[in-house]
Amino acid sequence: MNSPIGVFDSGIGGLTVVKHLASHLRDESIVYFGDTARVPYGSKSEETVKRFAFENTKFLLKHGVKLVVVACNTASAVALDDLQRSFDVPVVGMIEPGARAAVRLTRRRSVGVIGTLATIESSSYERAIHAEDASVKTTSRPCPLFVPLAEEGWVSHPVSEAVAREYLDEFKTANIDVLVLGCTHYPVLRNIIQRAIGEHVRLVDSGEEAVKEVTGILKREGLEAAGGGEVYRHFYVSDIPRKFREIGERFLGRPIDGLTLVPQSDVPWYERAEERRC
Ligand code: DGL
């Protein structure tokens, strides 16, 4: 089936998932929506993030996607079940795949989880990890400043290093050997996080794990694209495309060609948005 895969995030973070999708599923087209006008989601209420998640999903469906990847842990934590119940296409989130990988990898039976305030407060990772193995100890903390640092592209900046040391210090006493990057923005800061936590701790990129789930669903449901067709990647943002392109390209390691601005409005913007190529 040659329809595209839809992916959304609050901003640039979901590109960490697109990167894995594009390298594992070369025949699949992708429509990405980064809600750059409303980022961050992680400090917003459950009700607001749920509304955004529904709007973003409807926007992607308008573009004919065959499967939706919620490339945002915050939206996955608060809205995944409702999205899966409400739409006919498969909807894949970040939490379960990340939790499964963490349980598989930990030897000390002690896993750390970092994410946005909303994700950590939802306890979704703890629930998912304990559903896999109740004996695994979890230690979690929100790291909200990582999101603007990633959006700013400060991937090897002394300020990001200092923030990472401050946030991750408390994990040292928890004896963890696996740390889940429970926010799709965080892999952008992977090197800094690894240095701050120490080389002995394995980092789990939930987005990378979720791509394995996407691959399985496409196969099982007969949704895979037939090879040899046109493959495209279209990127939509709700604000400031210049910055998204600059940082996104650096991160994806390839040019972002099809970038379109979808302006917000006071009615659900996806319904009457005038799209503008930029
Ligand atoms: N990248 C998102 C996540 O995985 C959200 C970051 C934010 O908007 O706060 O949670």
Q: What pLDDT, in 10s, does the model give residues 247-270? A: 888 778 788 887 998 876 533 555
Active site annotation includes 72: yes
Query: ∠ CA(255), CA(228), CA(70), 5° rounding?
Result: 55
Q: Which amino acid is it at 47?
A: E
Q: d(Cα 107, Cα 85) in Å, to the nearest integer?
A: 36
Only one residue has tokens 């809205």, namely 79
Average pLDDT over residues 43-49: 93
Tell me: pLDDT of 271 over 80.
no
Residues with CB under 6 A from ligand 1: 9-10, 13, 39-42, 72-74, 116, 119, 147, 183-185
Say how many Å lie between the CA of residue 237 and the centre of ligand 1. Answer: 15
Centre of ligand 1 from the C-alpha of residue 228, in Å? 34
pLDDT, tens digit (0-9, with 9 covering 90-100), for 96-106 = 999 999 999 99
Torsion of CA 218, 220, 221, 222, to 10 degrees: 70
Q: How far is the CA of 227 from the centre of ligand 1 (A)?
A: 33
Tell the burial category of 156 from Cβ atoms under 10 Å away from its Cβ (0-12, 13-18, 19+): exposed
Checking if the pLDDT of 125 tops 90, the result is: yes
> Of the listed 25, 72, 143, 214, which one is catalytic?
72
Q: What is the pLDDT of residue 227?
A: 79
Structural domains in the chain? 5-93+209-277 (3.40.50.1860), 95-206 (3.40.50.1860)
- 183 noted as active-site residue: yes
Q: Which atom of ligand 1 is nearest to the CA of 41?
A: 8
pLDDT classification of 159: cutoffs 50, 70, 90:
very high
Q: Please tell me the predicted confidence (pLDDT) of residue 30.
A: 96
Q: Across the chain, what does the average pLDDT equal?
A: 92
Q: Looking at residues 169-188, what average pLDDT do you find?
A: 94
Look at 275 and 184; give whichever has higher pLDDT.
184
